[in-house]
Amino acid sequence: MTDRYDDIRPYRDSEVSEVVAALLNDDEFIDTLIALRTKYIAKWLPRFVRFLARRALRKQLSGVRTIDAFQALVKPRLDRVVAETSIFSYSGVDKLDSQQSYLFVSNHRDIVMDSAYANSVLVSEGHRTAQVAIGDNLLQKPWVSHLMRINKSFIVRRSLSGPKQQLAVSKQLANFMRDAIDQNQGPLWIAQREGRAKDGNDKTEAAVLKMLSLSRDKSSEKPDEVLGRLKIVPLTISYEIDPCDVLKAQELIVGAAYEKAPFEDLDSIARGILGAKGHVHLHFGSPLDGPSLSVTDAVALIDMSMVENFQLFKTNFWACDALGIAAPPAMQDRAKASITKAEFMARFDGLPDLERQRALQMYAQPVLNWMAIHSEA
């Protein structure tokens, strides 16, 4: 059977066996897994290592017949990554009902780990895992698409030309998300803007929320009534260290003329997963539900939540110091650090001055946002 969401929705239990078989038969998928574990043996004995890896993976996946079973297989590996690459904490989830479906609108710093941390918390606290929005620009290989959709990702289609096409897919996406919330299919995760906040400035794009309002029933709903019914929860993730900080700075320097190398996003994914992140904190905000919620008000509330609930670390203040920004001393007293200031600053050794400045600005921006809000109060 088909439905109007077949080309964007996550896979269903009935499709798992076929998808698992496709992954096991994809040499590039197997080679990617091998590369994450070891490069040298695979370089000299590629066929033999691929044979062993495929056999081991087939054994691990032999009992996987449902999405929940696949995620249960992934969870111990995710837990190990979290433990080995970060000092993780979270707050606010105790205020949410595990039986409700929420739309988590999150700041976006890492391609995979932002939502992975959220799902780790949800599972630990007895909630259902979230269906996660992912842009089709990241699905450059069939195995990547399979892997994401079997892990409850739904697709945001961006590679389209023409306003009519874009409007059609935006309505499809809005209706998919609205139906998931209305039918209590579990939580959803979506970024507050298209792409990561490479400059460290966690601002909500109004276009994202306007897209959600396309799901309204024009005969019975006003635009401002839609957002209030989606149970939007601002989700704020704070990283002490960004494994992709230098890469982001280099991209920002080039600006709109920047052209990504083939599969550069996959490299960023690997860096984000495996790189040291120091302290990471995730805060679940209060639901923005109610009879009426305008796009303007929703943007303001989400942005305020991002600033107030962002956990500032010593790295943020060290960046301010290096840029000559004077942050209130009282703010710094509570900040944590897993590395020394010298170790942090050494991350940017050898960079051209402009790249170094952009990288430091990325860390300083959350402090500037906090100071801007509190100077107005």
Q: What would the pLDDT profile of 173-203 be if each residue is shown by its tens digit? A: 999 999 999 999 999 999 999 999 999 999 9
27 pLDDT more than 70: yes
Domain boundary pick from 307, 324, 358: 307
145 pLDDT more than 70: yes
Of the candidates 32, 86, 91, which has an alpha carbon nearest to the alpha carbon of residue 57?
32
Neighbours of 287 (CB within 10 A): 18
Residue 282 bridge partners (DSSP): 90, 237
The verdict on residue 6 lying in a domain is: no
Give the residue carrying structure tokens 């490069």. Answer: 39
The pLDDT tens digits of the residues spanning 152-178 come to 999 999 877 788 999 999 999 999 999
Contact between residue 106 and residue 190 where contact means Cβ atoms under 8 Å apart: yes
Report the SS3 class of residue 183.
coil
The verdict on residue 3 lying in a domain is: no
Report the SS3 class of residue 288.
coil
The pLDDT tens digits of the residues spanning 286-316 come to 999 888 999 999 999 999 999 999 999 999 9
Q: What is the mean pLDDT of residues 9-33?
A: 93
Query: Over the Cα atoms of the chain, what is R_g?
Result: 21
- pLDDT score for 183: 96
Structural domain harbouring 296: 66-307
The verdict on residue 93 lying in a domain is: yes
Which residues lie closer than 8 Å to 257 by C-beta, 6 or more apart?
none
DSSP, residue by residue, 121-167: HHHHTTPPPPEEEEEGGG--SHHHHHHHHHTTEEEE-----SHHHHH
Share of the chain above pLDDT 70, in %: 95
Domain shared by 361 and 299, yes or no: no
DSSP, residue by residue, 62-77: TT--SHHHHHHHHHHH
Domain shared by 189 and 215, yes or no: yes
Of the candidates 235, 333, 340, 338, which has an alpha carbon nearest to the alpha carbon of residue 284?
235
| Residue 344, CA atoms < 13 Å, CB-side half-sphere | 23
The pLDDT tens digits of the residues spanning 106-126 come to 999 999 999 999 999 999 999
- pLDDT score for 287: 96
Which residues lie closer than 8 Å to 60 by C-beta, 6 or more apart?
73
Confidence of residue 38 (pLDDT cuts 50, 70, 90): low
Q: What is the mean pLDDT of residues 100-108?
A: 98
231 pLDDT more than 50: yes
The verdict on residue 49 lying in a domain is: no
CA distance 14 to 318: 51
pTM of the predicted model, to two decimals? 0.94
Q: Please, what is the average pLDDT of the chain?
A: 92
Domain shared by 225 and 370, yes or no: no
CA distance 46 to 51: 9
Domain shared by 365 and 249, yes or no: no
Residue 91 bridge partners (DSSP): 283
- Look up the CATH number of the domain holding residue 100: 3.40.1130
Domain shared by 322 and 357, yes or no: yes
- pLDDT score for 45: 66
Contact between residue 334 and residue 316 where contact means Cβ atoms under 8 Å apart: no
- pLDDT score for 376: 63
Confidence of residue 254 (pLDDT cuts 50, 70, 90): confident
- pLDDT score for 161: 74
- pLDDT score for 255: 80
The verdict on residue 46 lying in a domain is: no
Which residues lie closer than 8 Å to 37 by C-beta, 6 or more apart?
none
Which residues lie closer than 8 Å to 197 by C-beta, 6 or more apart?
107, 108, 109, 203
Domain boundary pick from 279, 307, 335: 307
138 pLDDT more than 90: no
Share of the chain above pLDDT 90, in %: 79
Domain boundary pick from 278, 307, 336: 307
The verdict on residue 20 lying in a domain is: no
Domain shared by 272 and 154, yes or no: yes
Domain shared by 153 and 209, yes or no: yes
- pLDDT score for 1: 44
Domain shared by 369 and 221, yes or no: no
**262: burial class by Cβ within 10 Å (0-12, 13-18, 19+)?**
exposed
Domain shared by 339 and 285, yes or no: no
Q: Which two tokens stand for residue 333?
A: 């007293």
Contact between residue 155 and residue 139 where contact means Cβ atoms under 8 Å apart: yes
Q: What is the mean pLDDT of residues 212-224?
A: 92
Q: Where are the alpha helices (DSSP H) in 38-131?
A: 40-44, 46-61, 67-85, 113-124
The verdict on residue 303 lying in a domain is: yes
The pLDDT tens digits of the residues spanning 311-353 come to 999 999 999 999 999 998 888 988 999 999 999 999 999 999 9
Domain count, the chain: 2
Give the residue carrying structure tokens 């039918």. Answer: 183
The verdict on residue 238 lying in a domain is: yes
Domain shared by 236 and 363, yes or no: no
Report the SS3 class of residue 238.
strand
Domain shared by 356 and 279, yes or no: no
Q: What is the mean pLDDT of residues 258-285?
A: 88
Domain shared by 209 and 333, yes or no: no
